[in-house]
Amino acid sequence: MYKRQQYIQFVVPIENALITDPVQAMFCGPVADMQRVLQVLGSCGLPITVLRTEYPGRDLSIVDVLNAGCSKGHALERWASYRQITHEQVMAVGDNYNDIEMLTFAGHPFIMGNASEELRSRGWKLTRSNAESGVSAAIEHVLYGKELETVAVDQVAGPAIGVSL
């Protein structure tokens, strides 16, 4: 963060920063605090998209606030439409809650082995974790039919790297 400090502006109170239509606002902190942020934003009545990324083992959560209809899933759908690609021809790999719409759209959705149990239970194909080249394994499965070998990952010690394609 300090390397890019010249590009970051801190404004208190936040309302003073919202003088134009923002591209994105982000809140970051402990999971419990960010759950309260989600509740407030969910009941505010504004035309926004609110997405979360959580790493409970690190007590870290990120809440993204975007324009309505803006998410990885919406972007992927628009890109596929522009390229005249059907959703059956789309592959997506994700590991967190902010990937749900993207994975729902894709005809070949893969969830990383380090994803939460809640996401892993949605029925998407399970690949290895970020630390065990899960994206590579998913690509090889789709392109070459290579068997997916998942490896059990400790949710607490798992890496906090988010991978989304």
pLDDT tens sequence across 16-40: 776 666 678 899 999 999 999 999 9
Helix (H, G, I), strand (E, B) or coil at 147: coil
Q: What is the pLDDT of residues 45-83, one digit of tens each?
A: 888 899 999 999 899 999 999 988 889 999 999 999 999
* Structural domains of the chain, ranges and CATH numbers in brackets: 2-67 (no CATH), 72-144 (3.40.50.1000)
pLDDT of residue 153: 52
163 pLDDT above the threshold of 50: no
- Total-model pTM: 0.76
Residue 155: what pLDDT?
45
Q: Which residues of 73-93 are buried (b: 16+ CB within 10 A; e: fewer)?
A: bbebbeebeeeeeebeebbbb
> What is the predicted pLDDT for the residue at 100?
96
- pLDDT at residue 121, rounded to an integer: 93
How far is the first Cα of the chain from the last one, in angstroms, to the nearest whole number?
24
Rounded distance, CA 125 to CA 41, Å?
31
Which tens digit of pLDDT belongs to each residue from 77-129?
A: 999 999 999 999 999 999 999 999 999 999 999 999 999 888 999 999 999 99
pLDDT for 21: 67
pLDDT for 87 equals: 96
For β-strands 108-111 and 91-94, DSSP reports them as parallel
Report the pLDDT value the prediction gives residue 13, as an integer from 0 to 100: 80
pLDDT tens for each residue of 135-159: 999 999 999 999 988 665 544 344 4
